[in-house]
Chain A
Amino acid sequence: MAAKTLTIDGKQISADQGATILDAATDAGITIPTLCHLDGVYDVGACRLCLVEVAGINKLLPACTTRVHEGMVIKTDSERLRKYRRMTLELLFAERNHVCAVCVANGHCELQSLAYSLGMDHVRYDYRFPKWGVDNTHTLFGMDHNRCILCMRCVRVCWHIEGAGTKNVSGRGSGSQIISDLNQPWGTSDTCTRCGKCVMACPTGALFAKGATVSEMERDRTRLEFIVTAREKKQWIA
């Protein structure tokens, strides 16, 4: 595999051909904020947090789905990018009911920690306070739609890692909703294998293991890593 050389934030780096800008940056120790990206599953470019500036291209490009080219000059951080990222987070916090103080994921939430790290200290948009429910019908897990940011990680791991195909999306626009099977209570799903991968993949408190209370929901991402490395590298890590 041929290597490509490029510049990210002034740093000269080399990356494998076919690598994404996000891969290259991560290798070089440069952090690009992401929400919909999850190591091991294919990328969809949905959250738009990872947008970067590439010299000579007047559009912002998502780092997670854009492949590196020879001689690319990339900026992952600028006043403008930081502003857009903060606004994206503000829009998310205003969209559903993210009440950190009473959330199982408090302190272990990617949305929350991004808000800290990107300096989103308040939300200037009207909170929508939509009426979303909680699905507690599953014996092991629960789904709180109020916390969902529609990153589709759960859908992707359910289809492409576990292969169960339980999770899906219904509706469109701000009415989009994560559903189980044919939009039925999760507990009545015939396809759910109760593997818990969606719960481990979720960045917020939307999917949780039952029994956890405020701030207790820690994610164990190694459950995904095991299958992904087995598939991609043919190694069975213990």
Chain B
Amino acid sequence: MNERSRLAPEPMPRRDFLGLSAMTSALVALLFAGIGMMRLPKAAVLPSPSRRFRVQLPESLADGEAYVPPGRAVAFYRRGDTVYAMSTICTHLGCVVRPTASGFDCPCHGSRFGPDGAVLKGPAPKALPWLQVRAIGRNAYVVDEGRTVPSGTVVQA
């Protein structure tokens, strides 16, 4: 066996090497198990009810008056011979806004929106999103809460 220089590093004893690899493999396993477990709570399929539904606008709905189907967070407007819809979920922190004469008021922190959904008063950071609407018959429409469209997108009544 060659004589080692005093300056050369000590060779690692076999026992230390085994211990070190056991330790490393345990840590790596723990890390991956952790990542795997973190994946579980992130739902792959959202259990929300279908966000698409049919709406029958009342015959008497006036021009520029909001119609909110019972139990839904969507407001419909008729303007001339066009129809459009927007979400009534406040863009601030998710309360349901109430239609007023001049647009919408949020009961939670006082945001106000115009009849086109634009922010009139904070703290809401952005306009109420418009939703995809399809006409399917006389005064009957299908709206999809899950699909937003650019503000100003209307359909022919």
Q: Do A and B bind each other?
A: no
